[in-house]
Structure 1
Amino acid sequence: MGKPESICVFGDSTAWGAWDMEKGGWVNRLWFQVAKREEEEYVEIYNQSVSGGTTRTVLERFENEARARGADALIFQTGGNDASYRSTPGNFIVQPEKFRGASQNI
């Protein structure tokens, strides 16, 4: 495989760029490095990350989003919100078996 022409990134608020007021997050920083145009050849990076995203929400949308953008490379950053819990430790937002299943399907 040669150099990708279109990359889709799927993830949560960290991938989306929350709290990075300097450069807009790691995906945007990646874009600064790889999207430099050289004549007609360049790489498009589509940040499809959503604050609050989980493996389930990524699984539900990544195929359609990647297809719509003609992505030939995918990057996933997911699991942080899945491991978060509501008020009581162990009361995870996404139960471990559902996280495991969604991760395998991605």
Structure 2
Amino acid sequence: MDAGALIALDRGQPRVVHLLDRVIAGGGAVDIPAPVIAQVWRDGSRQARLARLLGASDVVLVDLDAEMARAVGVLCGAVGVADVVDGHVALHARRRDLAVLTSDPDDIARLDPTLAIVTV
């Protein structure tokens, strides 16, 4: 999930809620890179949906370690994109063969046009 998808969830957009329910009901997990959380987290007392998702057992919070940070920098430099958070989302999805849930599919596709992208 990218920041736009988390914001959509936080606003209760039915498409995002439905997609997440389907993934979790099907036994899947939801990976969320930690920098994405930093982009959207402002006040947990006002972000109940987001807080619930982040505390769920089927949500994997993905750290940005030094190795990944360098790889994200290389990816962003290679395609001319400055948004390292989207770069982290795209690179993690590529490495794990995951679909990306996003509100801005063009940004993710620019980083990696081979990714499966689900637009919310």
The TM-score with structure 2 as length reference comes to: 0.33
Structure with more relative contact order (C-alpha pairs < 8 Å, separation 6 or more): 1
The structure with the largest helix share of the pair is 2
